[in-house]
Chain A
């Protein structure tokens, strides 16, 4: 997992020091701490059982529920790497949900439904990419357009094709939601496959280097021969595609299309996951593995709060506090200040 980070690509002698100073250590510590605290609150927190040929338990549940956010966050990580942002991911999920219901009602085969849903996400990503890369609109404004209109588009699709009741029964989608492969929930296998594919695309082609160079300095990259516009466009398309996967899973979970409230605020969780994972909104770096850790931190926190019996209202505040402390520890200024305090005492 750690090898996905470019910081971890250091030579062997520097590795120990690199880990000690690494920003990667704090999100991992935060995740560990949350899981330990949850273990104290609920003694059987770590218990994993096999029920109906599938693994069950809190740890599995955290992974299971984190999948949609993690998928969206991975797309967001690439977009943020270009010094962009995509606020429309929740709306893309809403559109994908409506498209799935529409195709089910039209009686399409499973494969067609799947590909239509993914194509809808790609199309949304192309729209965002067109606005940002071709027209040069600021990313936050450009994606705000689809963020605002996307849920309306979803409702319109429902209105035109979903009939009065946009819910459905589909064994295929049910399988995506609750099914399992060799005891492991299907969606985890799927998500791992998507992560691997994305990692290969970013780190085993030159796409990652180009995204990071464009995010770091678009003008310099252009003059060096990198086609910055194409790179930015591709980033938004990737984000649309990954959001579509999240949309398929979320729609399968709910058996319905609910454009108004599905995946509400998921863009904020995704951005948070990227930032907890060490990404900077100033662009220029992609940390895929740490972004997944970021998504797990957010989900672990939610699950732990629920188990603790605290009213769900506390969840948001606790989340804010944990995020704040992770970011505080990651900030170079804060760490230097702490180091200054610590080293002054002995001397």
Chain B
């Protein structure tokens, strides 16, 4: 975009591609970094940010494309090689040893001394010098764990910075910082930038993107949506780039139900919330209604569904299911009162990988039945094959370990498990994450079909089109609170984006 105008690029990544078994993580992604710029890298979970960064820093091999550093093609085999060439990374989780002193933490890594012997006098001097670069004046003999998270973050940055560091990658550095601490970090970043460093800044806080970055790149589903000057991209455009694909082929095919057609109230949440997790919110789900949950990464979509399920314990509010107060429920009690849940992270929270498809499908239903009333084997097999047919799960038989299935089929197994428990309320968190287009459309159709059968559904998604295509009502989230609802004919991309951007008279 402004490649010809500014100074020569420090890093040019061109047509980068990367696949993992069953997943295309990146394809044809370009990223150019100039000295003296702060470059924000944005995208939802699974968009490919961390894969791209890992390829840049040598932690992962790329399948396609090339990387040039100061015009020279490079091929890093390890993070050490990248670091020697001046590319340093600070990850989201602070990689320091809390019980060790600042000096010792900073001395970890490549040692100058012969036979790996450390001279503590030299190490202390080096530590002071490293911290001075960041204008950080702390007692370097104290254990790192005694300092605030912000200071720890700065120590981690100090650790990453060498005299010859020219590219600094920060992965969500402000995730656990408060406003004051973030301001401190930003002033240091501006200082580093003025000294000609190229800084990549990954975050999901849009305010911070506009506050600090010069240019913005947005990734989506493993592809680059666009790169541009921060001053040229409006907040609304930015949100649209992140979550809203241009509509076209997937135009909404049904009429959103008007509010008077609502069925009975299935679930009523009043003032449910938890400190530091989600502001108290009200939410009602009706029979035969799909409520979409829209918002950016980190806005509290997942937290809301988990609070309703009881997987996150609420510290305020009441929850009524089917007209009955269920108090502080657990996932187990939710299951009994007819709530089923499909989590966002299939591998970590959805499936038991070593168990068969049949066993995974059975699990919730069996849990609802109780341990004494085991579903007979024949009935299990019948149920599993019914589900495999109904959801078109591609597998030779139901006894295959579920981890051997592709992503889309795994997602269907998670759905099948939820459906097998015969729920009246279904909570879906990112039901189409990381699956191919065909399975995507099937799952949206399934959601509509379940809704017509009278189920109440809550669908959290980072795909705005999905929300628009599937919902009768949309709850919009921003900054860990529910900021409003949109219903019926008002459910349009632009309305939702405007609301998320806070240009609709919102509280922010």
Chain A contacts to B: CB under 8 angstroms:
9-11, 204-207, 209-210, 212-213, 216-217, 219-227, 284-285
Contact = CB atoms under 8 A, between A and B. Distances in A.
A121 B359 CA distance: 32
Nearest to B362: A209
B242 interface: no
A225 B355 contact: no
Interface of B: 309, 311, 330-332, 334-336, 341, 343, 348-355, 359, 362-364, 366-375, 377, 397, 399, 417, 421
B352 A213 contact: yes
Given A223-B309, A225-B334, A210 B351 contact: no
Contacts of B343: 220, 223
B352 A212 contact: yes
A225 B367 contact: yes
A207 B354 CA distance: 17
18 contacts: A206-B366, A206-B367, A206-B371, A206-B372, A206-B373, A210-B367, A216-B352, A216-B355, A217-B353, A220-B350, A220-B351, A222-B331, A224-B417, A225-B364, A227-B330, A284-B352, A284-B354, A284-B355
Contacts of A216: 352-355
A207 B371 contact: yes
A206 B364 contact: no
B359 A225 contact: no
A220 B421 contact: no
B371 A210 contact: yes
Contacts, number: 90
Given A210-B367, A219-B349, A226 B332 contact: yes
Contact of B363 (A9, A11, A209, A284): A209
Contacts of B348: 217, 219-220
Contacts of B335: 224-225
A225 B331 contact: yes
A209 B361 CA distance: 12
A281 to B, nearest CB: 13
A265 B355 CA distance: 32
Contact of A226 (B309, B334, B363, B374): B363
A222 B355 contact: no
A212 B367 CA distance: 13
Given A216-B355, A225-B335, 9 more contacts: A206-B372, A210-B371, A213-B355, A213-B363, A220-B352, A223-B309, A224-B367, A225-B363, A227-B330
B355 A205 contact: no
Contacts of A212: 352, 354-355, 359
A209 B371 CA distance: 9
Contacts of B350: 220, 223
Contacts of B336: 225
A221 B353 contact: no
B399 A225 contact: no
Contacts of B369: 206
B55 to A, nearest CB: 29
A221 B354 CA distance: 13
Nearest to A284: B354
A227 B364 CA distance: 11
Nearest to A204: B374
Nearest to B330: A227
A288 to B, nearest CB: 16
A213 B366 CA distance: 12
A223 B352 contact: no
B181 to A, nearest CB: 30
A285 B354 contact: yes
A201 to B, nearest CB: 10
A284 B362 CA distance: 16
Given A209-B362, A209-B366, A222 B352 contact: no
Contacts of B363: 209, 213, 221, 224-226
A195 to B, nearest CB: 19
Given A217-B351, A217-B352, A223 B341 contact: yes
Among the interface residues A209, A219, A224, which one has the most CB atoms of the partner chain B within 10 A?
Answer: A224
Nearest to B341: A223
Nearest to A10: B399
Contact of A223 (B349, B370, B377, B399): B349
A17 B84 CA distance: 53
Contacts of A226: 332, 363, 367
Contacts of B355: 212-213, 216, 284
Given A209-B359, A220-B352, A285-B354, A225 B368 contact: yes
A106 to B, nearest CB: 37
A156 B370 CA distance: 41
Nearest to A225: B335
A226 B366 CA distance: 9
Contacts of A10: 399
Contacts of A284: 352, 354-355
A11 B398 CA distance: 11
A223 B331 contact: yes
A210 B334 CA distance: 18
Among the interface residues B362, B371, B372, which one has the most CB atoms of the partner chain A within 10 A?
Answer: B371
A9 B377 CA distance: 10
Nearest to B309: A223
Contacts of A223: 309, 311, 331, 341, 343, 349-350
A260 B367 CA distance: 43
A205 B351 contact: no
A206 B371 CA distance: 5
A217 B399 CA distance: 18
